């Protein structure tokens, strides 16, 4: 935690974003955060499975989890909430998530410019040292002057 | 034309999200998802994750259709996906259709486009690699 109190506190703000809409439907929850990163939890759900007959979480919810965690990491790094839009998001699914386990999405905003925000992150199912996915993404700030 | 039943084209996740098979075009499934609270991000707009889920589902659907046509059985596993968000998804139905760029023995490379009112103005595109594993029964 930083020494000075900051305006955008993910532990308090998460419920505002996850109380409704797509994040609400997924049941995303706050898990942890640092100065420039946020981790959210996606609880296990039977109706989010991928391949029929396989007890494996679909990849779509992981993409949503990482998109949301990335947005929150950017607001944390900017220390304010402002409108942003995903420009490009890449997900590498390195292994299936374990059956019945929550998946945690941790994303870090490693570079902020006037127009863009660059993030990278991972998804894991309990051990961040053994991820299920890696991501990299770029977001654009909306309605800001287009200068890098 | 080996059209495949809707139930096989869509995963439990896709059905949960409200994705349905809209139509077939030259043997390729076009999927759609109605705008609803469960796909909403900022008010009256699609969440990037929901748009990504639609793209991914359309990618799997075109691959399943082609594998069925070739009588090939395989378990599909995601390798990766890269999504480009081109325009905000507004509060109306979105459509998506995939195209198999390369179908190999073990993996497939697929490109997907999603649109709303006009097909010529996509709201998002994706390229994905999918592993086709031996069915374990």
The tens-digit pLDDT sequence of chain A (148 residues) is: 545 667 899 999 998 888 899 999 999 999 999 999 999 999 998 888 887 777 888 899 999 999 999 999 999 999 999 999 999 999 999 999 999 999 999 999 999 999 999 999 999 999 999 999 999 999 999 875 555 5
The CA-based angle A34-A86-A22, given to 5 degrees, is: 80
Confidence of residue B36 (pLDDT cuts 50, 70, 90): very high
More confident site: B95 or B9: B95
A3 vs B106: CA distance, rounded Å: 52
Q: What is the pTM of this model?
A: 0.92
| pLDDT given at position B8 | 64
Of A20, A64, A83, the CB nearest to B53: A64
The whole-number average pLDDT for the span B52-62 is: 96
| pLDDT given at position B4 | 56
Contacts with B, A 86-105, CB within 8 Å: 86-93, 96
Residues 6 or more apart whose CB falls under 8 angstroms from that of A58 comprise A48, A49, A50, B11, B12, B13, B14, B53
Half-sphere exposure of B87 (CA within 13 A, CB side): 15
Residues 6 or more apart whose CB falls under 8 angstroms from that of A47 comprise B12, B13, B15, B16
pLDDT in tens, B62-87: 999 999 999 998 999 999 999 999 99
Topology annotation, domain B6-133:
Thiol Ester Dehydrase; Chain A (3.10.129)
Which of A140, A57, A136 lies closest to B16 in space, CA to CA? Answer: A57
Query: What DSSP assignment string belongs to B57-120?
Result: HHHHHHHHHHHHHTT---EEEEEEEEEEE-S--BSS-EEEEEEEEEE-SSEEEEEEEEESS-TT
Question: Domains along chain A?
Answer: 10-141 (3.10.129.10)
Confidence of residue B6 (pLDDT cuts 50, 70, 90): low
Look at residue B95 and tell me whether its pLDDT is greater than 80: yes
Q: State whether A63 and B39 contact (CB < 8 Å).
A: no
B24 vs B65: CA distance, rounded Å: 10
Q: State whether A21 and B38 contact (CB < 8 Å).
A: yes
């Amino acid at each position: 935690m930083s020494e000075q109190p900051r305006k955008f506190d993910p532990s308090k703000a998460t419920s505002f974003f996850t109380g409704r809409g797509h994040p609400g439907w997924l049941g995303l929850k706050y898990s942890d955060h640092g100065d420039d990163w946020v981790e959210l939890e996606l609880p296990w759900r039977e109706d989010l499975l991928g391949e029929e007959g396989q007890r494996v979480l679909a990849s779509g919810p992981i993409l949503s989890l990482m998109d949301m965690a990335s947005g929150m990491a950017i607001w944390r790094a900017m220390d304010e909430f402002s409108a942003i839009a995903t420009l490009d998001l890449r997900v590498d699914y390195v292994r299936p998530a374990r059956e019945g386990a929550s998946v945690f999405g941790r994303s870090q905003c490693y570079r902020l410019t006037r127009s863009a925000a660059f993030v990278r992150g991972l998804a894991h199912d309990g051990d961040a040292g053994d991820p299920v996915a890696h991501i990299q993404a770029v977001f654009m700030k909306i309605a800001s002057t287009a200068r890098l | 034309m080996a059209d495949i039943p809707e139930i096989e084209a869509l995963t439990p996740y896709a059905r949960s999200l409200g994705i349905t098979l809209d139509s077939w075009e030259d043997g390729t499934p076009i999927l759609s998802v109605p705008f609803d609270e469960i796909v909403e991000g900022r008010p009256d707009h699609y969440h990037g994750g929901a748009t990504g889920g639609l793209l991914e589902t359309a990618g799997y659907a075109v691959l399943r259709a082609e594998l069925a046509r070739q009588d090939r059985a395989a378990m599909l596993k995601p390798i990766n996906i890269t999504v480009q968000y081109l325009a905000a998804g507004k509060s109306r139905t979105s459509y998506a259709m995939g195209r198999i760029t390369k179908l190999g023995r073990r993996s497939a490379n697929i490109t997907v486009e999603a649109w709303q009112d006009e097909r010529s103005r996509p709201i998002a595109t994706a390229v994905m690699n999918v592993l086709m594993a031996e069915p374990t029964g």
